[in-house]
Amino acid sequence: GDSVTQMEGPVTLSEEAFLTINCTYTATGYPSLFWYVQYPGEGLQLLLKATKADDKGSNKGFEATYRKETTSFHLEKGSVQVSDSAVYFCALSEKGAQKLVFGQGTRLTINP
């Protein structure tokens, strides 16, 4: 079945550091890929998405590129802020599917 694997957390960085959170997936077809973010005490919010190979999703300084050849969708940000501290979830959905398949989440803490 479909699955999503994210890098183990927690990840702790200093403010203005470069961020990468790895995400790889297994799918039978050509899924759409998503990154969601969960701030403390809140539900998940869509951060960005990509629906086909080589698409780049971007939002709030975060970027991720749909790499079909490596089945990856790594999340990057050039300069993180304390306000980026949250849990980040990579997810996929197959065309016609009824559900998102989520990774286990990566907790990110940014220190000032």
Partner 1 sequence: ETGVTQTPRHLVMGMTNKKSLKCEQHLGHNAMYWYKQSAKKPLELMFVYNFKEQTENNSVPSRFSPECPNSSHLFLHLHTLQPEDSALYLCASSQDLVGSNQPQHFGDGTRLSIL
Summarize as ranges the residues that interact with partner 1 (CB under 8 A).
32, 34, 36, 41-46, 49, 51, 89, 93-100, 102-105
Name which of 16 and 54 has its Cβ closer to partner 1.
54
On whether the CB atoms of residues 39 and 110 are closer than 8 A, the answer is no
Least spacing, CB of residue 48 vs partner 1, in Å = 10
Name which of 35 and 110 has its Cβ closer to partner 1.
35
Name which of 51 and 72 has its Cβ closer to partner 1.
51
| Residue with tokens 């297994």, as numbered in its chain | 26
Name which of 51 and 71 has its Cβ closer to partner 1.
51
Say how far apart CA 29 and CA 27 lie, in whole Å: 6
Least spacing, CB of residue 88 vs partner 1, in Å = 13
Omega within 30 of 0 (cis) for the link into 112: no
Least spacing, CB of residue 70 vs partner 1, in Å = 22
Least spacing, CB of residue 68 vs partner 1, in Å = 16
Omega within 30 of 0 (cis) for the link into 10: yes
Most distant CA pair in the chain, distance: 44
On whether the CB atoms of residues 93 and 27 are closer than 8 A, the answer is no
